[in-house]
Amino acid sequence: MLSIADVSKTYPNGVQALRGVSLEVGTGLFGLLGPNGAGKSTLMRTLATLQEPDSGQIVLDGADVLADPQGLRRRLGYLPQEFGVYPGISAEALLDHLALLKGIADRRERAAQVDALLRRTNLHEHRRRAVEGFSGGMRRRFGIAQALLGDPRLVIVDEPSAGLDPEERHRLHDLLVEAGESRIVLLSTHIVEDVRQLCTRMAVLSGGRILLEGKPGPLVESLAGRVYRKVVTREELAACRTSLTVLSTQLRAGRTHVQVLADARPDDGFEPVAPDLEDVYFTALRSGEAA
C-alpha cells in the first residue's frame, strides 16, 4: 500500500503546487486525472524522491519514504513524461546500463532481465537499434521496459500515451495492465479515456488539491439522471454558461452540443443522456472552481 498523507509543496517562485494531498493507493492501476498545471507532475516527482515536499508523509508498505528515499528507489520504476537517452547507444546496451545503475550487478541476471523485458515490450527485434532513432511509441515502450527493471513494487508513469497513435496506445495499455497485476502502478494523465480503460481506482487533482477519489463505475453512476444535452447557438451557449453548470461542449457537423449538470431538466430542449467518466471529471473540476 502507498499512503500519501497531507503532502504540500510550494516552489521558490511562490507557486503552491500541492496543497495537502492525501491518497491511499493499493496494488493495481490507479489513475490520477487533472488538467495541465494541476500538480500531477509535482506529485509524481515527489513520490519518486526527485524532490522533497514541504510537509506531509509518504509510506510504502509500512516504510517511511521521506526518511529513507534510497530504500524507495530500490523498489521504484519511474517513467517521466520526457526522458532523455544517450545518443548512438542500442536499446539492449542502454537497458543493460540502466540495469547496472539500478543495482543489478550480476551480468547473467542483467542479461536475462534485459532480454525478457525487450521481448515483453515487443522491442527484441529492434534491440541493436539506437533508442534515439525509435518512434514515439517505441520510446514509450522502452520507457516501460526500463521502469520494470529490478521488479519494482511501485511504478510511476507520467502521461504515458500523450502523442501516441491508437495502435501504440493499445500496446502501451496492455503493458500497463500486465504490470499492474502484481504492483502498484500510479498513472498520471489528462486523458480521461486512459483512466476509463485501465484503472480500478482514480482521483482528480486540480489546483494542487484532490477534488474527488473513488472507483470509476460508482462515480459515473452517481451522476445518473443529472446530465443533459442540447444543440445550441453561440448566443444560447453564452446564456447556458451564465445560468447552468456546463460540463463540456462539442462541435458536431458544425453544430454545438452542450452538456450540462442539473438536478432536473433545464428546459424542453435538453435531453437526458447517460453520464460517462468525462462527465465525472468535468463535474469535479467545476466543483473545484466554485469552491
Q: Give whole-number Cα distances, 239 to 138, 246, 286, in Å.
A: 47, 10, 17
Q: Are residues 166 and 53 in the same domain?
A: yes
The domain boundary, picked from 144, 172, 191, lies at 144
The domain boundary, picked from 126, 144, 162, lies at 144
Residues 124, 112: Cα–Cα separation, whole Å? 12
Q: What is the pLDDT of residue 252?
A: 85
In sequence order, which residues have a C-beta less than 8 Å from that of residue 243 and are 6 or more positions away?
Answer: none
Q: Are residues 20 and 132 in the same domain?
A: no
Q: Are residues 242 and 195 in the same domain?
A: no
The size of the chain, in residues, is 291
Q: What is the pLDDT of residue 291?
A: 63
Considering only CA atoms, which of 22, 72, 67, 74 is closest in space to residue 47?
Answer: 72
Residues 190, 269: Cα–Cα separation, whole Å? 31
Q: Are residues 52 and 33 in the same domain?
A: yes
Q: Are residues 174 and 58 in the same domain?
A: yes
Residues 218, 145: Cα–Cα separation, whole Å? 33
Q: What is the pLDDT along the chain (291 residues), one digit of tens a residue?
A: 999 999 999 999 999 999 999 999 999 999 999 998 899 999 999 999 999 999 999 999 999 999 999 999 999 999 988 777 888 999 999 999 999 999 999 999 999 999 999 999 999 999 999 999 999 889 989 999 999 999 999 999 988 887 788 888 888 899 999 999 999 999 999 889 999 999 999 999 999 999 999 999 999 999 999 999 999 998 889 999 999 999 999 988 888 999 999 999 998 789 999 999 999 999 999 988 866
Alpha helix locations (H) across 74-106?
A: 91-101
By DSSP bridging, strand 184-189 and strand 154-158 are parallel
Q: What is the pLDDT of residue 23?
A: 97
> Does the residue 283 lie in any domain?
no
Q: What is the pLDDT of residue 15?
A: 94
Q: Are residues 68 and 156 in the same domain?
A: yes
What is the span of the domain harbouring residue 132? 86-144
Q: Are residues 239 and 197 in the same domain?
A: no
In sequence order, which residues have a C-beta less than 8 Å from that of residue 71 and are 6 or more positions away?
Answer: 63, 65
Q: Give whole-number Cα distances, 217 to 33, 201, 203, 220, 248, in Å.
A: 15, 9, 13, 5, 20
Alpha helix locations (H) across the chain?
A: 40-47, 69-73, 91-101, 107-120, 136-147, 166-179, 192-198, 216-221, 234-243, 277-290
Q: What is the pLDDT of residue 234?
A: 86
What's the number of CA atoms in the CB half-sphere (13 Å) around residue 229? 14
Which CATH number goes with the domain that contains 209? 3.40.50.300
Number of structural domains the chain divides into: 3
> Does the residue 39 lie in any domain?
yes
Q: Are residues 178 and 156 in the same domain?
A: yes
> Does the residue 44 lie in any domain?
yes
Sheet with 201-206, edge to edge strand ranges: 76-79, 154-158, 184-189, 28-33, 201-206, 209-214
Q: What is the pLDDT of residue 290?
A: 65
Query: Is residue 85 within 8 Å of 132, Cβ to Cβ?
Result: yes
Residues 81, 71: Cα–Cα separation, whole Å? 23
Residue 148: Cβ within 10 Å count? 21
Query: Is residue 72 within 8 Å of 152, Cβ to Cβ?
Result: no
